Amino acid sequence: MNNVNLNNDNNIKLLKNFIKDLSFENPQKINENNIFNNSNSDLNINMNVFYRPYNNNLFSLLLRYTFDCSSKENKKNLFNLELDYYGFFEILKQKNYDQEGFTKSGLKMLFPFVKEIVEDITRKGAGMAVSLNEVDFNLIKN
């Protein structure tokens, strides 16, 4: 199997990364938070990325990852998570400016952090861990 999240790009360097904003809500009552409700659910997942260039071969990415989990049975909201994860990068080798390439390479560096945060928060806050699949960043279009 090919690891699509492996970053083999030495054209950029991650200088700083952190959670910019995080919101998690679990509105379930104690008797509703059970394995049946949580495993019989629909997930609505959305991921957006925002690129911002800076002077001196620097740029940033903001990865906004959101998902809502609702019951298949009664459509009631089980929990939702919104995460803005920030990365600040240096361009080491710039043959020509390639925003799409920098974005894809930067996302490959940031996604493992996002994956770990989402899985940890849902395991501790929702009563079940939501495991994120790998994302093929080569499919992303600007």
- The answer to whether 98 and 37 are in contact (CB under 8 A) is no
Q: Which structural domain, as residue segments, surrounds residue 80? A: 12-130
Q: Is residue 137 part of a domain?
A: no
pLDDT recorded at residue 1: 38
Q: Is residue 142 part of a domain?
A: no
Kindly report the number of other CB atoms within 10 A of residue 61's CB atom: 22
- How many structural domains compose the chain? 1
Segment 55-68 shows an average pLDDT of 92
Largest distance between two CA atoms of the chain: 59
Q: Is residue 16 part of a domain?
A: yes
The CATH number assigned to the domain holding 25 equals 3.10.420.10
| 122: CB partners within 8 A, 6+ apart | 79, 81, 128, 129, 130
User: What Cα–Cα distance (Å) separates residue 138 from each residue in 23, 57, 75, 124?
Assistant: 28, 23, 34, 32
Segment 126-131 shows an average pLDDT of 70
Segment 39-60 shows an average pLDDT of 87
Q: Is residue 20 part of a domain?
A: yes
pLDDT in tens, 3-49: 444 455 678 999 999 999 999 998 877 666 555 555 667 778 888 99
More confident residue, 128 or 142: 128
